[in-house]
Amino acid sequence: MPKSVISIGPYHPLQEEPEHFQLTVEGEKVVDIEVSVGYNHRGIEKLSERRSFDQATFVIERICGICSTSHPFAYTQAVEDIIPVEVPERAKYIRTIIAEGERIHSHLLWFGLAGHFLGYNTVYMWMWRLREEILDVMEILSGNRQNYAMFKPGGVRRDIKPEDIPLAIKKIDSILPTVDRLKKAILDDPVLHARLKGIGTLTKEEAIAYCALGPTSRASGVARDVRKDAPYGAYDRLDWNMIVTANGDVWDKAVVRLLELYESIKIMKHCLLNLPGGEIDLNLKSIPPGEGIGAHEAPRGETFHYVRSDGTNRPARHKVRAPTFMNLPTLKATVPGSSIADAAIILAAIDPCYCCTERMAVRSADGRKLYSGEELLRLSREKTSRIQKELGKR
């Protein structure tokens, strides 16, 4: 059978972000995939080297719109690693609260998008409505729905007021029944079982070989989580479980995220109820020469920052490694062998975040046949309805 090449990108039609996949297909079947990243140079690292250590936090925060706390979390830890210094206990708890709130809304967002890709727009609407509640909690606690501006080297910028906590807890509790319903709806649905199980499987060996991170690796049975492996913030003081499943297919990745929602809600509530008193900021005056690293378990995996200081008030070098940079190559193992209709959800299953990753280099694209967003969506939804019909006949 003749092979043909399908280009998706350099602008992802579904996720509306720059990347480029080239699927080599034989008929309906994908036999190879080529992943190209680096279409969007944003100059964030250079920009942060032109700001003071304190001001750079705001640039770092804007690397990504969804994980807007992950990057400052890793960055502030890297700066604190230069000195080195321990932040106050209360600041650690506040940081943990914000980070977990972000994980909840990021996973909800992924569920919404996954539902959208599969033609389950009900899930899409449910999840994004739930996400609003969490964004409200973030607004109550930090003053904004996104870009919380809470982190600074040496502590946090603003305190969580005791009078805000009851309302935040109430809002977090209010999403639990719907998350329960979603859990049942997903776990019971035979169509989703048929659609997601066994596709895009990443074996444990492959996950280790590709250095997969976050839910992508945990779904494949690799127990890899910075929060457990090298505890930071308040994670070593809390009781929570790392969710690990064995199969590594898209279904397992969804289950890992679903169960992580519960863990994050648990951690967030516990921290809010047991917030220790004391200072929230060390008021660092200067950063000595040296270098430091910081890592944070973002919703998509480990975010890693390296900062070098030359004794001035600006970072001399700042390097960012986003989790998607490690997770994207796993597509090389998961996509070949699947059909084009499955490709859309497999590509989305690693929860790719291109704005984190795409900061590095510029490449030119050679124009080939492009699949439009509608076409991919149509293929994916047609398969879902096909399965629905087949199951209905039985």
* Cα 146 to Cα 136: distance, rounded to the nearest angstrom: 10
Q: Dump the DSSP string for 138-192.
A: HHHHHSSSS----EETTEESSPPPGGGHHHHHHHHHHHHHHHHHHHHHHHH-HHH
By CB under 8 A, tell whether 50 contacts another protein: no
Nearer to another protein among residue 185 and residue 360 (C-beta): 185
The two structure tokens encoding residue 267:
């951690």
By CB under 8 A, tell whether 162 contacts another protein: no
By CB under 8 A, tell whether 58 contacts another protein: yes
Cβ 143 to another protein shortest distance, Å? 4
Tell me the residue length of the chain: 394
Alpha helices in 235-372 (DSSP H): 250-273, 323-327, 331-334, 340-349, 354-357
The two structure tokens encoding residue 333:
């193992």
* Cα 82 to Cα 300: distance, rounded to the nearest angstrom: 26
* Cα 347 to Cα 199: distance, rounded to the nearest angstrom: 11
Q: Dump the DSSP string for 37-76.
A: -------HHHHHHTS-HHHHHHHHHTT-SSSTTHHHHHHH
Q: Which of 54, 89, 206, 375 binds another protein (CB under 8 A)?
A: 54
Q: Say if residues 157 and 151 touch (Cβ distance below 8 Å).
A: yes
Cβ 5 to another protein shortest distance, Å? 39
Cβ 140 to another protein shortest distance, Å? 5
Cβ 240 to another protein shortest distance, Å? 27
Footprint on residues 272-301 left by another protein (CB under 8 A): none
Instruction: Residue 9: name the closest of 30, 29, 35 by CA.
Output: 35
By CB under 8 A, tell whether 59 contacts another protein: yes
Q: Which of 184, 197, 363, 389 binds another protein (CB under 8 A)?
A: 184
Nearer to another protein among residue 157 and residue 237 (C-beta): 157
Under DSSP, the state recorded for 335 is S
Size of the site for another protein (CB under 8 A): 31
By CB under 8 A, tell whether 157 contacts another protein: yes
- Candidates 97-105, 121-129, 237-245, 341-349; binding stretch for another protein (CB under 8 A): 121-129
Cβ 357 to another protein shortest distance, Å? 23
Instruction: Residue 299: name the closest of 224, 221, 214, 172 by CA.
Output: 214
Q: Which of 1, 162, 177, 188 binds another protein (CB under 8 A)?
A: 188
- Candidates 51-59, 224-232, 290-298, 374-382; binding stretch for another protein (CB under 8 A): 51-59
* Cα 12 to Cα 19: distance, rounded to the nearest angstrom: 6
By CB under 8 A, tell whether 49 contacts another protein: no
Cβ 172 to another protein shortest distance, Å? 15
Q: Which of 5, 223, 246, 391 binds another protein (CB under 8 A)?
A: 391
* Cα 129 to Cα 131: distance, rounded to the nearest angstrom: 5
Q: Say if residues 35 and 328 touch (Cβ distance below 8 Å).
A: yes
Cβ 188 to another protein shortest distance, Å? 5
By CB under 8 A, tell whether 181 contacts another protein: yes
By CB under 8 A, tell whether 393 contacts another protein: no
Footprint on residues 136-155 left by another protein (CB under 8 A): 136, 139-144, 147, 149
Contacting positions for another protein (CB under 8 A): 51, 54-59, 122, 126, 129, 132, 136, 139-144, 147, 149, 157-158, 161, 164, 181, 184-185, 188-190, 391
